[in-house]
Amino acid sequence: MRPRQLEYVVAVAEEGSFTEGARAVLVSQPALSHQVKALEQELGRPLFVRGPDGARLTPHGERFLPHARAALAASRAAVAAARDTARLEGGELRVAALHSMAMGLVPPALGAWRLAHPAVRVALTEYAHIDLLTAAMAHGDADIGVGTEPAGWSGPLRVLGEEELMLVLPADDPLLRRPGGVPLELLADRPWVLYAADFGLAPLLAKVFAHAGFVPRAAARVHHTATAVELAAAGLGPALVPADVIGARHAGHSARPAAPILRRLVAFTRDDPAPAARAFADLLAAHARPTP
């Protein structure tokens, strides 16, 4: 059963004859009759009673006609939706992002997207670890991922820039006013606000601390960078957080480490990405801030 056959059945039913039905759908009458006959054989029931004065539906045809019309409407709606999506005039864009990206780079791009493509819905899902984000992309749960470089990703990948990690301290800490940045080894004796072992930043910071020559003591272990900012600003211990996570309220609590800590940011998709995913990658690149 093909959509064209359903279209022929509807045309004959509406026009009352095979000749007029063929004229309505712009095919020859023999071709239309052949297709309707093939459909009747597939169904095992006649749909029309043929006569010299035209064609009328059989009881089976009367029951079949509403379903044929509904199937044609659904098919046409599916085609229209696909075309709208290709033209960015409809559909949905599913974005998967690391927490810090969802607080920093992604919102300005989403704002620009809403203005440029208001008919395309957006669904955003946050992830704490790049491995979880990568798994979601591989399973088809999102159209575009925004985060750090995913290990082993074979699909398209676009470098957006680098994310800087900043040191957060209480506002009265004299190290905030130290010229040239803060060497982390000056904080080796303090307890730190650290991240839980399964959080995405934990492996990077373990390397950073090892390079600085110490293993930090934990005052707290958290799962959210925003929590780390609040605790560090309150004086529980220093924390290293992505710059985009530090809002205006805590701008006076941050300083750059003497040795910059940077993460490369990328947007990545599966092979043959949808037009919406490609367009959003362009917006992300346009809104990415240059590395300090």
Report the candidate in 256, 255, 276, 254 with the shortest Cα–Cα distance to residue 267: 276
Q: Residue 247 above 90 pLDDT?
A: no
Do 91-161+265-287 and 163-263 show the same overall fold?
Answer: yes
pLDDT digits (tens, 9 = 90+) for 265-278: 999 999 888 888 98
Q: What distance, in Å, lies between the first and last C-alpha atoms of the chain?
A: 62
Degrees to nearest 5, angle at CA 89 with 84 and 91:
70
Domain 163-263 class, CATH top level: alpha beta
**Percent of the chain scoring above 70 in pLDDT:** 95
Q: What is the pLDDT of residue 104?
A: 82
pLDDT digits (tens, 9 = 90+) for 17-55: 999 999 999 999 999 999 999 999 999 999 999 998 899
Residues 6+ apart with CB under 8 A from 213: 185, 188
Domain 91-161+265-287 class, CATH top level: alpha beta
Q: Where are the domains of the chain?
A: 3-81, 91-161+265-287, 163-263
Burial code (b: 16+ CB inside 10 Å, e: under 16) for 227-262 equals: bbbbbbbeebbbbbbbebbbeeebeebbbbbeeebe
* Contact yes or no for 45/234 (Cβ under 8 A): no
For range 210-223, the mean pLDDT = 96
Q: What is the pLDDT of residue 244?
A: 85
160 sits in which H/E element:
strand 157-168
Choose which CATH entry (1.10.3720.10, 1.10.10.10, 3.30.465.10, 3.40.980.10) describes domain 3-81: 1.10.10.10
Q: If pLDDT is split at 50, 70 and 90, which confidence band does 81 have? A: low
Residues, the chain, total? 292
DSSP β-ladder status, 121-127 and 191-195: unpaired
Q: If pLDDT is split at 50, 70 and 90, which confidence band does 120 have? A: confident
62 phi/psi in degrees, rounded to 5? -65, -35
For range 250-258, the mean pLDDT = 94
pLDDT digits (tens, 9 = 90+) for 179-215: 999 999 999 999 999 999 988 899 999 999 999 999 9
